[in-house]
A = this chain, B = another copy of it.
Amino acid sequence: MENPLLKNTSLFSDIDANLLKQFSDVAIIHKYKKGQTIYCEGDSAQFFFIIKSGWVKIFHQTLGGEEAVTDILTTSHIFGENAVFENFIYSHSAEAVEDCEILALPLSLLQTAINNNHKIAVNMLGAMSYHRKKQEKEIEHLTIQTAPQRIGCFLLRLIPKGKTKNIVINLPYDKTLIASRLGMKPETLSRAIKSLTEKTGIKITGARVDIASIESLSEFSCSACSSSYPCEDIT
């Protein structure tokens, strides 16, 4: 029954049916309410997760209560799997930012699979490499983009592939969360959006974003980046 979700996860693509069954047999669907913690950094780890629906925030937290959001994930994304390499201790915290359905799978099974099944190991490598590239972009953005540029870049990555004119997109989650995702305060986000609309001709009303033409937006946002639009498949 869970097969479709598993199958569509890159980690399990082209895996022999037998092994796939092992996973789906023990998979448990967890439901999380908005704001609920899935696990905390430092917790002993027994499961890794695949998101069926909803959004999940990955972050670090300081003693002072400050948060550094490193990623926000949705359907078919995997998280927590890294604990396999970290002595079964989660190296970050995860929280549902809206009601979620999440598949929990035992890490021990993943560990065995990685050690014994070459295809899984190779798939995992692909996933890790993807993640690494994404993180590297993240660091680049934090280092050299201004707040309005980071927003522009974020919007560009929400545009469906191929579209170039009269684009309408909906912000995927609330602005407070977008702000922390982009490493800024909500107030700064609000002001930076204003500045962005003035400089690039886009319109943002509530959660709706209108981009008449990508050009001026990408010119403004990507000038401070090592790659230009389209910024590859990094979401």
Contacts and interface: CB of A to CB of B under 8 A. Distances in A.
A67 B138 CA distance: 14
A91 B232 CA distance: 11
Q: Give the size range of A's interface with the partner.
A: 35 or more
Interface in A101-131: 114-115, 118, 121-122, 124-126, 128-131
A223 interface: yes
B64 A136 contact: no
A92 interface: yes
Interface in A206-235: 223-226
Interface string A27-57: 0000000000000010000000000000000
B62 A144 contact: yes
Contact of A60 (B92, B129, B140): B140
A131 B92 CA distance: 15
Contacts of A8: none
A44 to B, nearest CB: 16
Contacts of A85: 125-126, 129-130
Contacts of A128: 125, 128-129, 132
8 contacts: A41-B226, A84-B129, A121-B125, A124-B125, A125-B125, A125-B128, A128-B129, A135-B139
B139 A139 contact: yes
Closest 4 CB pairs of A and B: A85-B129, A60-B226, A128-B128, A68-B143
Nearest to A121: B121
Interface of A: 41, 60-64, 66-68, 70, 82, 84-86, 91-92, 114-115, 118, 121-122, 124-126, 128-133, 135-136, 138-140, 142-144, 183, 223-226
A61 B121 CA distance: 32
Contact of A122 (B41, B64, B114, B126): B114
A226 B125 contact: no
Nearest to A141: B68
Given A66-B224, A125-B114, A143-B142, A133 B60 contact: no
